[in-house]
């Protein structure tokens, strides 16, 4: 397996930069997600990797091989990559086995070699028993696995996935996440996965490239993105939480309970701090004059807990979790156990 290098890549459509100076180094066998809102450039970046779009500036390399630059463009079929599209793009008149084997037929692979490679690809996605069926006889999740098997049959170095779960319902998406985990474990392939769904990216990826307006804003593990987002925008995009302005701390620093209380009491509140709901403790006792107090505005039952939407005396909104229902309008005492200081957008 080879390292995938994206070096200062830009893509312009007329004067608009769809991708702007993006650099990533993807390790062999790593599962990477390109995450961001619609129009941020993630699919354009994937298409440049696949060879469907030329780049304007920069370089793309796989191992020591140059795949793309402003003066060099290796065709898609020579890049040792395979792409799974959102639409699956299966031939309805072909059987599952014939759909999976189609790329091999284009390469003139025949006979026993053809049969073995199709069987191996179907085995990797647990669809051996469905080889003779047609796509219309399958569920959405099974069709997605056929598309995965078809991309694997060529034994690619890199698998590119363009929002592959977008057309599935919520229950099936959750089931397919586990299928992707198993797929990645079995194949050990390098995978680049495009999505606008932070839940998918956090559940699947080893590292996530968060994009905004064509630029990379943070490149980190899911745990780091959640615990230590770089900016106010990333903090609002990844996970749930509240942002308060306080008179303490500096970007990239974690604050203790005492520092948060001191910062909330200050007059020049210029530092944004992220408070995740699990770091807000709601006391069951009656608030005293020394407590940080909030009013319960409303709550949402989430099954294992209630999601409390609180309002501080200064008007700031605060999200918290609680095991029991409270009364809207009720005054509660709070403890903020920790906070993460953010860069301004």
d(C-alpha 184, C-alpha 163), whole Å: 16
The pLDDT value recorded for residue 345 is 81
Q: Which CATH number fits domain 4-229: 3.50.50.60, 3.40.50.300, 3.40.50.10490, 3.30.70.870?
A: 3.40.50.300
d(C-alpha 102, C-alpha 112), whole Å: 15
Tell me if 344 sits within 8 A of 232, measured CB to CB. yes
The pLDDT value recorded for residue 300 is 96
The pLDDT value recorded for residue 258 is 93
What is the percent of the chain where pLDDT is above 70?
Answer: 97
d(C-alpha 93, C-alpha 53), whole Å: 30
The DSSP code for 343 is B
Tokens linked to 328: 């809207």
The pLDDT value recorded for residue 240 is 94
The pLDDT value recorded for residue 168 is 66
Q: What Å distances lie between residue 81 and 61, 121, 153, 181, 207, CA to CA?
A: 12, 15, 11, 19, 20
More confident residue, 122 or 254: 254
Taking residues 3-16, what's their average pLDDT? Answer: 96
More confident residue, 70 or 85: 70
The DSSP code for 27 is P
Tell me if 199 sits within 8 A of 4, measured CB to CB. no
The model's pLDDT over 60-84, given as tens digits with 9 standing for 90+, comes to: 999 989 999 999 999 998 998 988 8
Q: Helix, strand, or coil here: 12?
A: strand
Taking residues 314-333, what's their average pLDDT? Answer: 94
Tokens linked to 87: 């639409």
Domain 240-341: give its CATH code.
2.40.50.140
Domain ranges across the chain? 4-229, 240-341
- Pick from 143-152, 198-207, 284-293: least confident: 284-293
Q: Is the pTM of this model over 0.85?
A: yes
The pLDDT value recorded for residue 106 is 85
Tell me if 193 sits within 8 A of 34, measured CB to CB. yes
The pLDDT value recorded for residue 52 is 95
Average pLDDT over all residues of the chain: 91
Nearest Cα neighbor of 183 from 29, 333, 58 is: 29
DSSP notation for 183-249: HHHHH--EEEEEES-HHHHHHH-SEEEEEETTEEEEEE-HHHHHHS-SBHHHHHHSSS-EEEEESS-
Taking residues 149-171, what's their average pLDDT? Answer: 80
Nearest Cα neighbor of 242 from 304, 311, 305, 159 is: 311
d(C-alpha 21, C-alpha 242), whole Å: 31
The pLDDT value recorded for residue 49 is 97
- Position 103 pLDDT exceeds 90: no
The model's pLDDT over 288-316, given as tens digits with 9 standing for 90+, comes to: 767 899 999 999 999 999 999 999 998 99
Nearest Cα neighbor of 316 from 289, 280, 283 is: 280
The model's pLDDT over 10-65, given as tens digits with 9 standing for 90+, comes to: 999 999 999 999 999 999 999 999 999 999 999 999 999 999 999 999 999 999 89
The pLDDT value recorded for residue 208 is 98
């Amino acid at each position: 397996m080879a390292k995938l290098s994206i070096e200062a890549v830009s893509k312009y459509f007329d004067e608009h930069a769809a991708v702007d100076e993006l650099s990533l180094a993807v390790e062999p066998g790593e599962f990477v997600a390109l995450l961001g809102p619609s129009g941020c450039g993630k699919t354009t970046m994937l298409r440049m990797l696949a060879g469907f779009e030329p780049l304007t500036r920069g370089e793309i390399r796989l191992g020591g091989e140059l795949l793309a630059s402003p003066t060099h463009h290796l065709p898609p079929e020579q890049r040792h990559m395979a792409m799974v599209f959102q639409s699956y793009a299966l031939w309805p008149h072909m059987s599952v086995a014939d759909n999976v084997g189609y790329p091999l037929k284009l390469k003139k692979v025949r006979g026993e070699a053809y049969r073995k490679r199709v069987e191996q690809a179907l085995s990797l996605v647990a669809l051996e028993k469905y080889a003779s069926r047609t796509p219309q006889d399958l569920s959405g999740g099974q069709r997605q696995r056929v598309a995965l098997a078809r991309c694997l049959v060529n034994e690619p170095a890199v698998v590119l996935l363009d929002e592959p779960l977008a057309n599935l319902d919520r229950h099936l998406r959750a089931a397919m996440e586990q299928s992707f985990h198993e797929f990645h474990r079995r194949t050990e392939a390098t995978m680049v996965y495009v999505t606008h769904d932070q839940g998918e990216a956090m559940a699947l990826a080893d590292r996530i490239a968060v994009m905004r307006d064509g630029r990379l804003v943070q490149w980190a593990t899911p745990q780091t993105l959640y615990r230590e987002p770089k900016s106010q925008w990333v903090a609002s995009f990844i996970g749930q939480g509240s942002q308060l302005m306080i008179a303490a701390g500096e970007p990239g620093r974690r604050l203790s309970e005492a520092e948060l209380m001191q910062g909330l009491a200050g007059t020049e509140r210029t530092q944004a701090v992220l408070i995740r709901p699990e770091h807000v403790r709601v006391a069951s006792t009656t608030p005293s004059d020394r407590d940080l107090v909030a009013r319960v505005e409303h709550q949402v039952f989430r099954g294992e807990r209630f999601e409390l939407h609180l309002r501080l005396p200064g008007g700031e909104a605060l999200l918290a979790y609680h095991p029991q229902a409270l009364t809207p309008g009720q005054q509660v005492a709070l403890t903020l156990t920790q906070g993460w200081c953010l860069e301004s957008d």
